[in-house]
Amino acid sequence: MSLFGIRIALFVGGLVSLILGVGLFATQVENEPYGVHDLQRDKWDRMQAEIRQRQRDRAAAAAGQRELPVVKLDQRQCDFGNQQPYRVLTHTFSVANAGQAALRLELKKTSSESLEVVVPGDPIPAGQSALVTVRWKVGKAHGAVRETVTLGTNDPYRHALKLAVTARIPVILAMTEKKFSAPRVEPDQLVAASTLVYSQCWEDFQISEVRCDLENFQWAAEPLSPAECAEHGYLAAYRLTLSVSRASKGSFEQAVRISVRPPSDGWRPESDVAAGGDDWFVALSNGKPLVLDSTFYGRVIARIGFYGPELHLDEGLDMGLISCGTRRDFPVVVRYRGQVLPSRLAVLDIQPPQLEATIEAVASRPGTYRLVITVPAHASQVVFNANQQHGYVQVGDPEHPEVNNWFPVMGAILKDRQSSAIRE
C-alpha cells in the first residue's frame, strides 16, 4: 500500500474511533441534565419528580380519572401601613380548598429570618379553609419594607403559593453619606467633610461624642432648621462636620465612631419585643447611646504641581527620540499651593545630566512659575525611556528642601543614524 493510502486509512480509522467514543459517552450521560452540579443532583431529581407528578395529575384530572385540590386565596398581601421599628406584626391569611380532594400545604421558604409562619399540619378537606399565620419581627429595617412567604401545595396547577407582608418603617437613626470624604484639599487648608445625621422617629436627639484616632481631629454638629427637616422628611437632623489639619501631602482613611443619645421622652421599642442580640435594641432598652460607625477619608495634594500639554499623569514628560546636535525645549507650568509663598523655587536635581533646566516666576501670577527642560545641542547620546531607567526633574524650595516634588522624564538622545534606524 502506498504512503498516501496508509494516511487515508489512519485518518478514517481515527474518525471512526472518535465517532464511536462520542456515541458511547452520549449513551452514558443520556439522562444527565446539562450544567447541574453533582452536589445539586438530588435537588434536581426531586424537582423533576414533582413536575412529572403534576403532569400525571393534570392528565388524570383531564381524563376524569382523579379528583384534584384547588387553591383559592382571596388575599395574597397584607399592607400594615406606617409602623414603628421593633414591632411584631401579625396577620392571618385564609386559604380555601375549592377542589374535590384534600389540599396539603407546606412551608417552602421565607425571604428573611424575621418571619415566623404557622401552617396547618393537617390537609384541608374539600370545600373548607384553613388559616396561615405570619408573625413579622420588623426590627430596625426602614423604608418600604416587603417580606414574602412561599408555600408548597399539592394543587398541580398552583404548586407554589406566595404571600407577602409590607409596611413603611421610619428611620431610627441614619447618615446621608456612609463615609466622610474630602478627596482633594489644598495644603494649609483644613481637611473637612460633612454629612447629615437624621431621625424619623425622634423630634430631637444629641450627638454626644465622635471618636477618631487622627491627630488634631475635631468635630462640630449644627442642627437643621424645622423647614429643612420637613423638606427632607426628617423629624430632626444635624449636619456633622469632621475636620483635621495636616501639613504633609498624601491620603488617609480612619475609622470614626459616632455616639448619639435619644431624647429621654421620645420613642422607644415595645418592651415585650424580642429582638435577639440586636445592639440598637439593647442600647435603647438600657438607656444607652446608639453608635454609628463610619470612616473619614481625605487627601492633601502636593504643594508643587506640574502642568503642560505634553505631561502625562503617570508617565511624566515623554521627549521621544532626539538627534544629537539638535536643541529642544519643553516648557512646563509649575504652581505652588499654600498660604505663604516661598522666596523662590529652584531645580534641585535633574537626570540624566545631559538635560538642562531653568525656572523663573511669572510676575503676573503669584505662585506660578515657568519651567523649561532643555536638550542642548551638545548633549551626548543617552537612553532614558525605560520604566527602570528614566530621567526626572525635581523642583523645590532651596531654603526648605523637604518642600519639593518631581516628575519622570522619558526619551532618548541618539546619533542621526541610530535615531533613523529606530524610527524605521
Give CA–CA dist 370/375, Å, rounded.
16
Phi, psi of 119 (to 5 degrees): -110, 140
Name residue 59's amino acid: A
The Cα 15–Cα 6 span in angstroms is: 14
Residue pLDDT, tens place only, 130-169: 999 999 998 888 999 999 999 999 888 888 899 999 999 9
Q: Name the pLDDT band for 289 (thresholds 50, 70, 90).
A: very high
Classify each residue of 116-146 as buried b or exposed e, where b means 16 or more C-beta atoms within 10 Å of its C-beta. Answer: ebebbeebbebeebbebebebbbbbebeebe
Kindly state the cell numbers that stand for 218: 475635631
Q: Domains (ranges, CATH) in the chain? A: 71-169 (2.60.40.10), 174-300 (2.60.40.10), 304-423 (2.60.40)
pLDDT in tens, 24-36: 555 555 455 666 6
Q: Look at residue 261 and tell me whether its pLDDT is greater than 50.
A: yes
Cα angle 283, 196, 275; round to 5: 25
Per-residue pLDDT tens for 71-101? 999 899 999 999 999 999 999 999 999 998 9
pLDDT tens digits for 303-352?
A: 999 999 889 988 899 999 999 999 999 999 999 998 888 889 999 999 99
421 band by pLDDT with thresholds 50, 70 and 90: very low
The structure's pTM equals: 0.69
Which of 86, 82, 56, 52 shows the shortest CA–CA distance to 68? 56
Closest to 296 in 3D by CA, of 217, 187, 220: 217
The label of the residue with cell 505662585 reads 367
Return the residue matching grid coordinates 400525571: 56
How far apart are alpha carbons 206 and 241 in whole angstroms? Answer: 15
Which has more confidence, 323 or 39? Answer: 323
pLDDT at 422 over 50: no
Type of residue at 320: G
Q: Which three cell numbers stand for residue 400?
A: 526648605
Q: Give the count of alpha carbons within 13 A of 9, CB side only.
A: 6
Q: Are 191 and 183 in contact (CB under 8 A)?
A: no
d(CA 22, CA 406): 65
For the segment 187-196, the average pLDDT, to the nearest whole number, is 92
Q: Cα(162)–Cα(149) distance, rounded to whole angstroms?
A: 6
SS (H, E, C) the chain: CCHHHHHHHHHHHHHHHHHHHHHHHHHHCCCCCCCCCHHHHHHHHHHHHHHHHHHHHHHHHHCCCCCCCCEEECCCEEEEEECCCCCEEEEEEEEEECCCCCECEEEEEECCCCEEEECCCCCECCCCEEEEEEEEECCCCCEEEEEEEEEEECCCCCCEEEEEEEEEECCCCEECCCCEEEEEECCCCCEEEEEEEEECCCCCCEEEEEECCCCCCEEEEEECCHHHHHHHCCCEEEEEEEEECCCCCEEEEEEEEEEEECCCCCCCCCCCCCCCCCHHHHHHHCCCCEEEEEEEEEEECCCEEEECCCEECCCEEEEEEEECCCCEEEEEEEEECCCCCCCCCEEEEEECCCCEEEEEECCCCCCEEEEEEEECCCCCCEEEEECCEEEEEEEEECCEEEEEEEEEEEEEEECHHHHHHHHC
